[in-house]
Structure 1
Amino acid sequence: TLSAQPAGAVPVAEPYSGTGRPPVAKYPDEPRSVKELVIAAGRKAARPVQWREGSRPGTGRSGRKRMYSRFVALRIRPAGRGVRQATDGPELPACWLLAEWPAGESEPVQFWLSDLPSGMPVTTLVRLAKLRWRIEHDYREMKQALGLAHFEGRTWSGWHHHVTLVSVAHAFCTLQRLAWAPKDAASA
């Protein structure tokens, strides 16, 4: 439901008549939903991007299944009262709109907003957007396997020590997983 202006949209102020309040600069066109902006860019704007290799056997370099889809990346200016109130000046801030549009779908299925710089490659945007899966996986591992959710103390320092030890244990497990990954891929 988020509405936005294209990045190239420029606010225009009507000429000041000399009486009353000076006119406020406004965008000439009404904002459109981000889905409409992506559909207007068209299917031809969607680029296939691989963001990682999964855990199942496949045709990737490591012998794992490639994780890829088609993505559209646009520069937009999010609209809305909250955005306008948080902005200094008449121009809305520009940001990235990343939309996943798989080949078999009639319209985009997922959307992300990012304030990364305008020269960012689409592959980097996709990799960072899809990194959420890894974060959720690590958090679940920390809670279930390493005991992050098992703290029952009542002091700040006790909680801090517990979280620190769980974080160190997670770092150790991650380093072990990375150290053994190339050998597992070579033997598969």
Structure 2
Amino acid sequence: MEGLLMLVMLCLGMGIIFLFINKSKNEQRVKNEKLEQGIYGDIRSIHLHGLKYPSNVVFNVKLYNDYLLFTYENEQIKLDLRKIKSASIENVKEINESKGFSVGNATLGGILFGQLGAIIGGFSGSQNLKFKILIINYIDSENNLKHISFMPDYFLNVTNKSMTDYRNGFLSEFYNELKKKIDKFSEYKEIQLEEL
């Protein structure tokens, strides 16, 4: 009986190792295919603020060598990386605490800090505010500072801490690739940022 149990455990262990190795190879293959297409990063996101898309719609963001491409349904928006001042990943809980939002303060957040403030203030009633958002600051065609903010689309239903950490890591990976490109191409990176 013990021998059979050991054999089953060994088979399970080998199966898990095989699946992990296979998954890693597939992820690397997909990443290499994207690089061949000129895509340095991509992420399905929920629009929070800054694009002409409605808030809370799911859209795709792809990072190419010198621009970001935002795609919603059949509509595409290109953002030249030379126009980006900065990008940052922000923790929703920290934003809520620093701006003083509390439960039910979406309206107050909107009045004080605009559309992005309303969205973040609306999150303040959530039990789990450990998810992160990506904020991109850029200069528009009229030389005005603008902000785009979004988060990966699968954050809204995540309650498991380890999954939240994993998905935050996915956002961080996209951000790190974007940051490299901003450092290389941006014409505005030396300008002091305004506080959101």
Q: Which has the higher helix share?
A: 2
TM-score category of the 2 structures, normalised to the smaller one: under 0.3
User: What TM-score, normalized by structure 1, do the two folds share?
Assistant: 0.24
Structure with higher RCO (Cα < 8 A, 6+ apart): 2
User: What TM-score, normalized by structure 2, do the two folds share?
Assistant: 0.23
The structure whose Rg is larger is: 1
